[in-house]
């Protein structure tokens, strides 16, 4: 974005992102990081159910279908829901870096309205990495992957360890995840990122 704030511009010592050797192959569907996640979880009845796939390099593509429960103005997607779809897509980039990261800052431009029933075609990519900071951008298009831009965002994600969630999440949900061997296996695999 041309009006990107200084906080979202990579510093001079930032390096290009490197796709982790164990990252999912291009085209591979990325799983939900948590079943009850508002963005990607299958167990969230009013969630976005964003489905992301690994792209080329350090990029992902995703789709989000705007449902009636996602509207703000009559018949149009709520702006906060569109931001959530962008955030979820940007967050999926961690699968390619094999890094657990959380949103530090997200700036969004709303270019055109997105009607209920629309499939929003999302694409995100990592631009640079500086220490624990991951600089990325995303775009959402209507009418197809090459359609007109409806929303776009620049973001700063910050790498964290699993303890970030254990220390700050609700204990009953944390316990359920820790009791799920598949969830623990995925989380630990990301933590040993060399």
pLDDT(69) > 60: yes
Q: Tens digit of pLDDT for each residue in 30-61?
A: 988 777 777 877 888 888 889 999 999 999 99
Q: ∠ CA 35-39-42 to the nearest 5 degrees?
A: 35
Res. 22 pLDDT band, cuts 50 70 90: very high
* pLDDT value, residue 44: 81
- The secondary structure of 90-101 as a DSSP string is HHTTHHHHT--E
Q: Tens digit of pLDDT for each residue in 87-122?
A: 999 999 999 999 889 999 999 999 999 999 999 999
* pLDDT value, residue 178: 59
CB 117 within 8 A of CB 110: no
Q: Average pLDDT of the chain?
A: 86
CB 17 within 8 A of CB 9: no
Task: Provide the percentage of residues in the chain whose pLDDT is more than 70.
Answer: 81
- The secondary structure of 20-84 as a DSSP string is -TTSPPTTPEEPPSSTT-TTT-TT-TTS---EEEE-SSSEEEEEEEPPGGGBSSTTBB-HHHHHH
pTM for the whole thing? 0.84
* pLDDT value, residue 175: 61
- The secondary structure of 128-186 as a DSSP string is EEETTEEEEEEEEESSSTTS-EEEEEEEEEEE--THHHHHHS-HHHHHHHHT-HHHHHH
H helix or E strand, kind and range, residue 86: helix 79-91
| Higher-pLDDT residue of 193, 131 | 131
Q: Tens digit of pLDDT for each residue in 122-162?
A: 999 999 999 999 999 999 999 999 999 999 999 999 998 75
């Amino acid at each position: 974005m041309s009006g990107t704030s200084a906080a979202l511009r990579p510093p001079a010592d930032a390096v290009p992102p490197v796709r982790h050797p164990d990252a999912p192959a291009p085209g591979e569907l990325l799983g939900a990081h948590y079943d009850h996640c508002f963005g990607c979880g299958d167990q969230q009845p009013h969630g976005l159910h964003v489905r992301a796939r690994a792209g080329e390099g350090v990029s992902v593509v995703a789709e989000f279908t705007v449902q009636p429960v996602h509207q703000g103005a009559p018949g149009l997607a709520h702006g906060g829901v569109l931001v959530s779809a962008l955030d979820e897509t940007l967050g999926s980039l961690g699968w390619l870096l094999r890094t657990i990261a959380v949103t530090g800052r997200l700036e969004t431009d709303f270019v055109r309205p997105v009607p209920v029933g629309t499939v929003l075609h999302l694409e995100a990519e990592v631009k640079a990495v500086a220490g624990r900071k991951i600089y990325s951008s995303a775009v959402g298009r209507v009418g197809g992957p090459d359609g007109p831009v409806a929303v776009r965002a620049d973001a700063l994600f910050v790498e964290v360890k699993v303890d970030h969630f254990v220390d700050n999440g609700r204990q009953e949900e944390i316990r359920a995840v820790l009791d799920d061997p598949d969830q623990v296996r995925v989380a630990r695999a990301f933590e040993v990122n060399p």
